[in-house]
Amino acid sequence: MIYREKGLCSNCSKYKIVNWVVVENREVKAEVPSQNKYTKKRMVSTIRLSPDEFENRVKEYLEKTFKRKFSKKPLQVGPNKFHNFNLVSDDDAIVVECKSYSWTKSENFPSAKISTAIEALFYLSRIKASKKILVLQDDINSRGESLVDVFVRRYDGIMDDVEVWAYTAGSTIQEDKVRIVRKSKNSWYRNLYNR
């Protein structure tokens, strides 16, 4: 199904009318109130993958998209400090961290869990790579809010040169949907110290 409503544009990061595709699946269904005055409710269906399944699915997607091999790899992030990144291309040019969160049971933002995504942003800021990506398994609450969109809106100021993807798993990798929520920007703190 294709939906057209007001939302966060993945190209310009502004709120405007956007289109997105939702794959129907019987495993998880949630009624989401629509912001459209002509439609009372819409059904959003997704599959939740375990963190390991999610990482493997993202690996398959990256290898298919970038035509490179990806694997777990430790990279130096400071003196005598290494971090084991989830997925690193065989030439170290693309570094990816995968995170899977959902809204709390009372549909609040999961601030405590999100702290590990902020830690991932810190580690990504400490390495040299032509592409740094934080991939989050998306979750939509009953108000129709994307967890990834809210995360980017709250923490955009510390993301610098990291691209953020919202990943929605389908029944197969061919049905998966990837939405670039935030494109890479200049590194604020590097510009600050290069004056």
Domain-located, residue 39: no
Task: For residue 122, give both structure tokens.
Answer: 């810190």
CB-side exposure of 67: number of CA atoms within 13 Å? Answer: 0
Owner of token pair 């609450």: 141
pLDDT of residue 7: 63
Task: For residue 44, give both structure tokens.
Answer: 């959003």
pLDDT of residue 59: 97
Number of domains in the chain: 1
Domain-located, residue 69: yes
Q: CB under 8 Å to 54, separation ≥6 — which residues?
A: 98, 100, 137, 167, 169
Q: How far apart are CA 16 and CA 107, in angstroms?
A: 24
Residue 181 sits in a domain whose CATH number is 3.40.1350
Q: How far apart are CA 174 and CA 158, in angstroms?
A: 33
Domain-located, residue 151: yes
Most distant CA pair in the chain, distance: 59
Q: How far apart are CA 62 and CA 68, in angstroms?
A: 8
111-125 vs 147-155: helix axis angle to the nearest 10? Answer: 60
CB-side exposure of 32: number of CA atoms within 13 Å? Answer: 22
Domain-located, residue 28: no
Domain containing 124: what range?
Answer: 48-193
pLDDT of residue 89: 97
Domain-located, residue 19: no
CB-based burial label for 63 (10 Å; 0-12, 13-18, 19+)? middle
pLDDT of residue 94: 97
pLDDT of residue 171: 86
Give which of 89, 103, 158 is closest to 136, Cα–Cα: 103
Domain-located, residue 134: yes
Domain-located, residue 1: no
pLDDT of residue 15: 62
Domain-located, residue 131: yes
pLDDT of residue 3: 62
Average pLDDT of each block of 10 consecutive residues along the chain (195 residues)? 63 66 44 41 63 95 96 94 96 96 93 94 94 96 93 93 94 91 75 53
Q: Is 63 helix (H, G, I), strand (E, B) or coil?
A: helix
